[in-house]
Homo-oligomer: A and B are copies of this chain.
């Protein structure tokens, strides 16, 4: 390994960052699952210099070489020099990607993963952009919860989350697109699964990464406004509503600090209380307005159904209202097949088979949409 040259990221002439980021940041934080650095590099060996910190929520990464998954592992806090490949023929250019596997973790203020640089005996080559840019906005489904682990396992642990078996990855690969993820397990459009109204995705969407916390992440720029004009999304895929449906079934949320209380109610006959349903629909309409404001060019696809179809009518109703009020027809509702005993993964969440099935429906829809609109030219 003696002839390896060490590069900080900004010394590398060609590399590609996947996911929302501060352009040009060095060192580079990877905030979301799916956030990654991708290289085209020659040489016999490649290592990455990573800085990892967390207190109680572990971080996982994957390594892909030439598009194939090679490793998946937990990283302990500290500095790591991870070998991405070694012993390979020096001349051919290898495509390599080091990817954050686990979602942004607001539960652990220390939780962050930073890429400092790479070491290699090879040279760097340009990494082309994907044909399309897709942004995926979601909850635990989009955070790949349940895609690893046995069906019998019901722990909430990072080990069971992933990008590597996520429908977002499958869809992006099938379309030769770049995927940007913005997702957080348990959160909804209006509130979290257990009625916490602060845990709603729209409130954080305009920040680079509002889904983490703490001074370290702040210093990395996580809470800065995100510049949507830098890499414009061709499509924004929203996969939200599942936790909002759950909130109707859960007890009220109380904030002991503020005394604040929140609850979505069922009627005695089990249907949704109208005013609470309207509150959810209002949140959907507002979020659609925000998404459009941030992504004027994007096709907006609201996906729903992988963990139940309960709020289908409400989401459609809100979307219809949004369309009527805005005149914006560049939105669509796409139901994804529900997860079954056959396709479920760990922790009662969609397993790899369910994610694959969802990816297929979404991929087919987007392929058709892009072919009709010549979306590549957007």
Given A334-B309, A338-B368, CB of A148 within 8 Å of CB of B70: yes
From B76, B149, B323, B329, give the contact of A83 (CB < 8 A): B76
Task: Give the residues in chain B near A56, CB-CB below 8 Å.
Answer: 87
CB distance from A343 to the nearest CB of B (A): 9
CB distance from A88 to the nearest CB of B (A): 5
Return A204 CB to nearest CB of chain B, in Å. Answer: 24
Contacts of A329 in B (CB 8 A): 271
Say yes or no for A216: interface residue by CB 8 A criterion.
no
The reply to whether A74 and B74 contact each other, CB–CB distance below 8 Å, is: no
Residues of B within 8 A of A317 (CB): 316-317, 320
Question: Which of A17-25, A26-34, A152-160 is found at the contact surface with chain B?
Answer: A152-160
Q: Does A7 have its Cβ within 8 Å of any Cβ on chain B? A: no
Contact A157 B333 (CB under 8 A): no
CB neighbours of A159 from chain B (8 A): 65, 70, 85, 87
Q: Mark A311-324, 1 if CB is under 8 A from B, else 0.
A: 01100110110010
Distance, CA A129 to CA B73, complexed state (A): 28
- A157 B86 Cβ-Cβ under 8 A: yes
Nearest-neighbour CB distance to chain B for A271, whole angstroms, equals 5
Near B by CB (< 8 A), chain A positions 331-364 give 332-335, 337-338, 340, 346, 360-361, 364
A68 within 8 A of B: yes
| A101, closest chain B residue (CB) | B71
Cβ A316 vs Cβ B312 within 8 A:
yes
CA distance A58 to B86 in the complex (A): 8
Point out the residue from B152, B333, B337, B365 that lies within 8 Å of A364, measured CB to CB. Answer: B337
> Chain B contacts of A271 at CB under 8 A?
329
Number of copies of this chain that the complex holds: 4
Residue A203 CB within 8 A of the other chain: no
A266 to chain B, nearest CB (A): 12
| A72 contacts chain B at the CB level, 8 A cutoff | yes
Does A313 contact B309, Cβ atoms closer than 8 Å?
Answer: no
- Is A378 part of the contact surface with B, judged by Cβ < 8 Å? no
B332 to A309, Cβ gap below 8 A? yes
Tell me the bound Cα distance from A284 to B77 in angstroms: 53
Q: How far is the CA of A364 from the CA of B320 in the complex (A)?
A: 28
CB of A211 to closest CB in B, whole Å: 19
Question: Do B333 and A88 have beta carbons less than 8 Å apart?
Answer: no
Distance in angstroms between the alpha carbons of A346 and B155 in the assembled complex? 36
**Bound-complex Cα distance A305 to B83 (A):** 35
Q: How far is A372 from B11 in the complex, measured between Cα atoms in Å?
A: 50
Contacts of A364 in B (CB 8 A): 337-338, 340
Is A67 on the interface with B (CB-CB < 8 A)?
yes
Assess whether A261 is interfacial by the CB under 8 Å rule: no
Residue of B nearest to A367 (CB): B340
Q: Given A72-B71, A72-B73, A155-B87, does the pair A66, B316 have CB atoms closer than 8 Å?
A: no
Contacts of A10 in B (CB 8 A): none
Q: Does A150 contact B (CB under 8 A)?
A: yes
In the bound complex, what is the Cα–Cα distance between A32 and B61 (angstroms)?
Answer: 26
Taking CB atoms and an 8 Å cut-off, the chain A residues in 60-106 that contact chain B are 60, 65-74, 76, 83, 85-89
Q: Within 8 Å CB of A338, what residues of B?
A: 361, 364-365, 368
Given contacts A70-B159, A73-B73, A316-B317, 9 further A-B contacts (CB under 8 A): A58-B83, A58-B87, A66-B153, A71-B72, A72-B73, A76-B83, A87-B157, A88-B157, A337-B364
Counting from the closest, the 6 A-B pairs by CB-CB distance are A316-B316, A335-B335, A66-B150, A73-B73, A87-B157, A71-B73
18 pairs, A vs B, C-beta closer than 8 Å = A65-B149, A66-B149, A66-B150, A66-B153, A67-B150, A68-B149, A68-B150, A70-B148, A71-B71, A71-B72, A71-B74, A73-B73, A87-B157, A88-B155, A309-B332, A312-B333, A313-B319, A338-B368
